[in-house]
């Protein structure tokens, strides 16, 4: 106390500050220098509109709420991936597969020399373990994602040798390879290391994340070095198996950073300032154009011209909820009247600045699907799906017993034809135009886009809504047609992505026949036509336009982004478990 009294307190404060400064400087010197920005790939991970990454602390894709599009997708690799833009089926961890004659069994041949990031061999045992784990869970606890589906599809998995396994199916299934063994969009499985997972009792509660231990263990060329709610950092593994196995050279991307950006505005700010190399999917072409105008180094899949992106599987439709009790759309004439009230040309002009194409089928416009679209052109004409005619629409409404009320809206027994037209915010541009067009035709179309809209129409609480075709076909029509089967028709109150809630026994029968035929079989086209005849006759929904992934790509630090000229992969780093992220990160070339 005496000493303190003898010296001014400022001396002590200065001394403390000096010690603190020394500590900070020493800490800075001790930290290893991160790879430069020129070797770092930064993209916007999945955040579902929130300012934080979705589930960044759960690397177990089969666990509850996990979302491995935030960086973990670079840790795992697929057996096969599919570039749906070209139709190319790309072997990765596997070299090839072989079906038996009746499609009840498939042999998978694993690539030699694949290793997990902890040095253990990746082989047929790991694939078999993953499949058996899911099958067993699907029959008992049912708390792992994909477990029920796997149990329904697979009868038995046999490891024939270290690099070969045979999967026996419960029923002939020529599409099995695309359902579970090929990763594209959100389809396909992730493979877990048997030597670690076999000792885990509660697999659903296992996060598989411990950076100190080197978890998650994957086969990918990058490993997680940091994860937090706002960003995930992955560094290149220079010992990646692909180099020694002669599969691919070491990628130029030394560090990958996934960050959260909740909305289009934040995405725009970040890419204009060169803080990120790729945005998430943006809402409108005009937004992409304004972003491109502000930074000459930015581009898109289609270059600096419309449509500013690439085609997606989820073409947009105006859906009717066929199970909604008392809905005016239970009457096919009313549904037809809606079909004739839609002016797609105007829709595309206003909502898409002309950068889209009208759609008259539930299918996206991929090359492999074109024979099916061409095969049903006469049906489109027969049912007038492409006819915008307000007089015809009014005639159908009159036939259905509707009269215009004092406000010029169609009504029957005091009840108007329409209701809240629900949609997610990303459909707002399209929805506002559609709502106006429907109002002009006399429908009570109330544009509604709230945070609850998505839930409402998925559980069947809406009479009509605008949505895409999640999980729709890209090379085969069956992925789209199954959305309209009795098996997949969810009752009201149960959440579903198949939001028309329509089915027809005749349609089911045709679909079952199609399921037994291999992809590309010539007999599929007439069967598809038969199914669509029913679909158009019933005016199940109103197809509107194609969907595009609108994303800005930054060429300040990286080039060789996929493009119309070089569509080696969809230009999407955060697209599900597809393997596209790895394909891109392996292919990008540094500017400097």
Partner 1 sequence: MVRIFKRLCLMIVVVWLAATVNFILPHLTERNPIEERLAQAMGEGGGSTAGMEEMVKQYRQKFGVDQPLWRQYLTMLSDSARLDLGVSISHYPDRVASHVLQALPWSIGLLGTATLISFAIGTTLGALTVWLRAGHWLGRVVPLLMILSAIPFYMVGLILIYVFALILQWFPSGGGMGVGFVAGLNWPSAVEIGRHAFLPAMSIVLAATGIWALSMRGMMVTVQGEDYMNFGRARGLKDGRLFWRYAVRNGITPQVTTLVLSLSHVVTGAVLVERVFSYPGVGTLLYNSVLLVDYFMIFGCVLVLIITLGISLMLLDLLYPLLDPRIRTGAGDA
Site for partner 1 in 24-53 (CB under 8 A): 24-25, 27-28, 31, 34, 40, 42, 48-52
Q: How far is CA 311 from CA 189, 427, 438, 567, in A?
A: 24, 16, 27, 11
Query: Is residue 425 close enough to count as binding partner 1 by CB under 8 A?
Result: no
From 416-424, 425-433, 492-500, 583-591, give the range in contact with partner 1 by CB under 8 A: 492-500
Min dist. Cβ of residue 28 to partner 1 (A)? 4
Which residue's CB is nearer to partner 1, number 255 or number 344?
255
For residue 507, give the nearest of 474, 523, 529, 476 by alpha carbon.
529
Query: Is residue 149 close enough to count as binding partner 1 by CB under 8 A?
Result: yes
For residue 92, give the nearest of 219, 281, 232 by alpha carbon.
219
Secondary structure, 3-state, 56-72: CCCCCCCCCCCCCCCCH
Query: Is residue 21 close enough to count as binding partner 1 by CB under 8 A?
Result: yes
CA contacts within 13 A on the Cβ side of 17: 6
Query: Is residue 1 close enough to count as binding partner 1 by CB under 8 A?
Result: no
Query: Is residue 362 close enough to count as binding partner 1 by CB under 8 A?
Result: no
Residues 368-397 that bind partner 1 (CB under 8 A): none
Q: Which residues pair with 183 in a beta bridge?
A: 81
Total chain residues near partner 1 (CB under 8 A): 78
From 79-87, 273-281, 523-531, 541-549, give the range in contact with partner 1 by CB under 8 A: 273-281
CB 288 within 8 A of CB 300: yes
From 260-268, 280-288, 327-335, 349-357, give the range in contact with partner 1 by CB under 8 A: 260-268
Which residue's CB is nearer to partner 1, number 231 or number 545?
231
Which residue's CB is nearer to partner 1, number 69 or number 336?
69
Which residue's CB is nearer to partner 1, number 276 or number 318?
276
Q: Which residues pair with 227 in a beta bridge?
A: 232
Task: Pick one of 107, 132, 275, 432: the residue that binds partner 1 (CB under 8 A).
Answer: 275
Which residue's CB is nearer to partner 1, number 42 or number 441?
42
Residues 6+ apart with CB under 8 A from 399: 333
Query: Is residue 146 close enough to count as binding partner 1 by CB under 8 A?
Result: yes
Residues 53-112 that bind partner 1 (CB under 8 A): 54-58, 63-67
Structure tokens at 78: 């697929």
Query: Is residue 9 close enough to count as binding partner 1 by CB under 8 A?
Result: no
For residue 531, give the nearest of 361, 322, 319, 340 by alpha carbon.
361
- The CA distance from 26 to 545, in Å, is 59
Min dist. Cβ of residue 562 to partner 1 (A)? 21
CB 321 within 8 A of CB 366: no
Which residue's CB is nearer to partner 1, number 135 or number 339?
135
Residue with tokens 């889209």: 356
Min dist. Cβ of residue 228 to partner 1 (A)? 8
For residue 233, give the nearest of 251, 261, 252, 253 by alpha carbon.
253
Min dist. Cβ of residue 412 to partner 1 (A)? 29
Residues 550-589 that bind partner 1 (CB under 8 A): 576-577
N- to C-terminal Cα distance for the chain? Answer: 62
- The CA distance from 224 to 76, in Å, is 11
From 85-93, 396-404, 494-502, 555-563, give the range in contact with partner 1 by CB under 8 A: 494-502
Task: Pick one of 181, 257, 411, 434: the residue that binds partner 1 (CB under 8 A).
Answer: 257
Query: Is residue 272 close enough to count as binding partner 1 by CB under 8 A?
Result: yes
- The CA distance from 499 to 522, in Å, is 30
- The CA distance from 208 to 529, in Å, is 47
Query: Is residue 495 close enough to count as binding partner 1 by CB under 8 A?
Result: yes
Query: Is residue 140 close enough to count as binding partner 1 by CB under 8 A?
Result: no
Min dist. Cβ of residue 142 to partner 1 (A)? 4
Which residue's CB is nearer to partner 1, number 266 or number 416?
266
Residues 185-244 that bind partner 1 (CB under 8 A): 185-187, 204-205, 207, 226, 228-231, 233
Q: How far is CA 307 from CA 150, 155, 278, 426, 550, in A?
A: 38, 45, 17, 16, 8
From 7-15, 116-124, 254-262, 540-548, give the range in contact with partner 1 by CB under 8 A: 254-262
Task: Pick one of 84, 194, 223, 266: the residue that binds partner 1 (CB under 8 A).
Answer: 266
Query: Is residue 295 close enough to count as binding partner 1 by CB under 8 A?
Result: no
CB 517 within 8 A of CB 348: no
Structure tokens at 269: 């700010």
Min dist. Cβ of residue 22 to partner 1 (A)? 11
Task: Pick one of 100, 158, 170, 273: the residue that binds partner 1 (CB under 8 A).
Answer: 273
Sign of CA dihedral 220, 226, 232, 236: negative
Query: Is residue 179 close enough to count as binding partner 1 by CB under 8 A?
Result: yes
Structure tokens at 170: 């419960």
- Does residue 43 sit in helix, strand or coil? strand
- The CA distance from 572 to 552, in Å, is 10
Min dist. Cβ of residue 52 to partner 1 (A)? 5
Residues 445-484 that bind partner 1 (CB under 8 A): 451-452, 455, 458, 470-471, 479, 483
Min dist. Cβ of residue 567 to partner 1 (A)? 22
Min dist. Cβ of residue 226 to partner 1 (A)? 6
- The CA distance from 109 to 79, in Å, is 9
Which residue's CB is nearer to partner 1, number 50 or number 486?
50
- The CA distance from 136 to 150, in Å, is 9
From 112-120, 158-166, 264-272, 357-365, give the range in contact with partner 1 by CB under 8 A: 264-272
Q: What ranges make up the beta strands (E) of 75-220?
A: 80-83, 88-91, 94-99, 105-110, 154-161, 164-169, 182-183
């Amino acid at each position: 106390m005496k000493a303190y009294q003898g010296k001014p307190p400022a001396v002590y404060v200065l001394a403390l500050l000096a010690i603190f400064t020394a500590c900070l400087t020493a800490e800075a010197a001790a930290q290893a220098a991160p790879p430069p920005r020129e070797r770092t790939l930064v993209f916007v991970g999945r955040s579902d509109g929130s300012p934080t990454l979705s589930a960044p602390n759960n690397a177990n894709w089969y666990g509850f709420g996990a979302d491995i599009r935030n960086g973990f997708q670079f840790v795992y690799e697929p057996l096969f991936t599919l570039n749906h833009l070209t139709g190319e089926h790309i072997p990765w961890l596997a070299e090839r597969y072989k079906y038996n004659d009746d499609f009840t069994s498939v042999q998978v041949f694993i690539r030699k020399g694949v290793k997990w990031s902890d040095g253990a061999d990746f082989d047929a045992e790991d694939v078999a373990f993953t499949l058996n784990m899911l099958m067993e869970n699907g029959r008992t606890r049912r708390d792992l994602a994909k477990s029920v589906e796997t149990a329904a599809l697979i009868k038995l998995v046999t490891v024939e040798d270290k690099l070969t396994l045979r999967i026996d199916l419960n029923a002939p299934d020529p599409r099995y390879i695309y359902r579970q063994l090929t990763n594209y969009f959100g389809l396909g499985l992730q493979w877990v290391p048997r030597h670690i997972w076999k000792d885990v009792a509660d697999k659903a509660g296992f996060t598989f994340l411990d950076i100190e231990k080197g978890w998650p263990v994957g086969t990918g060329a990058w490993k997680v070095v940091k994860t937090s709610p706002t960003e995930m950092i992955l560094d290149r593994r220079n010992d990646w198996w692909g180099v020694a196995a002669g599969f691919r050279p070491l990628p130029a991307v030394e560090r990958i950073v996934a960050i959260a950006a909740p909305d289009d505005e934040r995405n725009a700010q970040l890419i204009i300032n060169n803080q990120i190399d790729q945005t998430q999917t943006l809402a409108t072409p005009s937004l992409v154009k304004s972003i491109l105008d502000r930074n000459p180094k930015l581009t898109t899949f289609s270059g600096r011209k419309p449509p500013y992106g690439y085609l997606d599987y989820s073409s947009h439709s105006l859906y009717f909820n066929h199970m909604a009790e008392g809905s005016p759309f239970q009457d096919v004439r009313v549904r037809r009247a809606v079909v004739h009230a839609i002016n797609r040309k105007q829709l595309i002009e206003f909502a898409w600045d002309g950068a889209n194409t009208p759609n008259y089928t539930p299918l996206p416009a991929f090359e492999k699907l074109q024979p099916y679209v061409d095969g049903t052109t006469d049906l489109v004409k027969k049912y007038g799906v492409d006819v915008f005619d307000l007089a015809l629409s009014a005639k159908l409404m009159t036939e259905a017993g509707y009269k215009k009320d004092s406000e010029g809206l169609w009504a029957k027994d005091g009840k108007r034809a329409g209701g809240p037209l629900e949609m997610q915010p990303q459909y707002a541009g399209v929805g506002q135009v559609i709502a106006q067009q429907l109002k002009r035709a006399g429908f009570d179309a109330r544009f509604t886009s709230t945070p609850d809209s998505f839930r409402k129409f998925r559980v069947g609480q809406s009479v009509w809504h605008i949505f895409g075709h999640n999980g729709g076909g890209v090379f085969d029509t069956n992925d789209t047609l199954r959305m309209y089967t009795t098996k997949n028709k969810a009752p009201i109150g149960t959440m579903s992505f198949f939001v028309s809630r329509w089915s027809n026994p005749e349609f089911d029968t045709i679909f079952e026949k199609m399921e037994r035929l291999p992809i590309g079989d010539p007999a599929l086209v007439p069967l598809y036509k038969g199914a669509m005849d029913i679909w158009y006759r019933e005016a199940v929904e109103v197809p509107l336009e194609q969907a595009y992934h609108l994303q800005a790509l930054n060429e300040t630090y990286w080039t060789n982004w996929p493009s119309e000229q070089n569509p080696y992969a969809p230009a999407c780093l955060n697209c599900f478990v597809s393997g596209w992220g790895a394909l891109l990160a392996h292919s990008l070339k540094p500017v400097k």
